[in-house]
Amino acid sequence: MKKQFIIPAAMGMAMVMATTAMAATWRTGAAPNENRWWFDDDDGTYAVNEWRWLDGNGDGVAECYAFDSDGWMYADTTTPDGYQVNGDGAWVVNGVVQTQQTGVQNTPQSQGDSRILIAYYTLPETDGTDTDAGASRVAVGGGVQGNVEYMANTIAQATGGDLFQIDTVQNYPTLHEPLVDQAEREQDRNARPELSTHIDNLEDYDVIFVGYPIWWSEMPMAMYSFFDEYDFSGKTIIPFSSHGGSGFSGTPSEIRRLESGANVLDGYTVSRGSVAGDSSNLRNWVNSLNLQ
């Protein structure tokens, strides 16, 4: 098994991020384990010694499941780190199943008749010292969001636009060092990671906010897959990003190069340590665009 993600109990559930991929799936064991469940990542690995937020039916709502050291899902028990799971294996608090909006849907879910779409890619890391300074995530209520995800939600609230999470078939490491290495390898070979989510109704939108973290002074290669897939000619693209010091790194110009028929605005970027504290500035900037 090449990918193991062991969550120290001390980190707590709030640190655990959703990782979903359309090809990954739940499976039951062979006899005598036909009533036991495991989660197949469909890349030769499976969930083991970890908690995962999993959205089995693709409705954008994930439940949280724990897996033992052999990969079996815990059910109807108290997990070794002290949390209750029900008969379906879902984490419960006082009998209430805990859920998280994953935002990962096959295609944007229309909230009304908005012509605004907020498409974003985020990969919140699970290491780092806290959720405010220097980390790649923001604490929101009882859960956590990636920095770009948090910005996307803020923009959606300000505009009434529809949210769409750009996601890949393959899972990425959520620990910083392996993620940095993988991103560098992908960039070196100009990779185009296969996407697992797709906009089936692009004609419904005139304005597309496009959000991403800065990776190695560029957009993540999944964003190149995204721009390869769609022709945004005649539409307005508004880039937004979160970064660790590089700013936009010229990525809006790169988007102009990739989508020459679109009107690409200069966009908005914020340092990863300031994402939560900057939300009113982001809102003000969105309002100043006078999109409605």
Ligand X SMILES: Cc1cc2nc3c(=O)[nH]c(=O)nc-3n(C[C@H](O)[C@H](O)[C@H](O)COP(=O)(O)O)c2cc1C
Tell me which residues touch ligand X (CB under 6 A).
Answer: 122-124, 136-137, 146-149, 179-180, 183, 213-217, 242-246, 272
Smaller CB separation from ligand X, 44 or 245: 245
The nearest distance, CB 104 to ligand X, in angstroms, is: 14
Smaller CB separation from ligand X, 47 or 179: 179
Smaller CB separation from ligand X, 225 or 246: 246
The nearest distance, CB 98 to ligand X, in angstroms, is: 22
The nearest distance, CB 29 to ligand X, in angstroms, is: 35
The nearest distance, CB 167 to ligand X, in angstroms, is: 12
Gap between the Cα atoms of 208 and 186, Å rounded: 26
The nearest distance, CB 180 to ligand X, in angstroms, is: 4
Gap between the Cα atoms of 109 and 105, Å rounded: 8
Smaller CB separation from ligand X, 38 or 105: 105
Smaller CB separation from ligand X, 101 or 147: 147
Smaller CB separation from ligand X, 66 or 102: 102
Smaller CB separation from ligand X, 36 or 137: 137
SS3 letters across the chain: CCCCCCCCHHHCHHHCCECCCCCCEEEECCCCCCCCEEEECCCCCECCCEEEEECCCCCCEEEEEEECCCCCECCCEECCCCCEECCCCEEEECCEECEEECCCCCCCCCCCCCCEEEEECCCCCCCCCCCCCCCCEEEECCEEEEHHHHHHHHHHHHHCCEEEECCECCCCCCCHHHHHHHHHHHHHCCCCCCECCCCCCHHHCCEEEEEEECECCECCHHHHHHHHHCCCCCCEEEEEEEECCCCCCCHHHHHHHHCCCCEECCCEEEEHHHCCCCHHHHHHHHHHCCCC
The nearest distance, CB 181 to ligand X, in angstroms, is: 8
The nearest distance, CB 144 to ligand X, in angstroms, is: 10
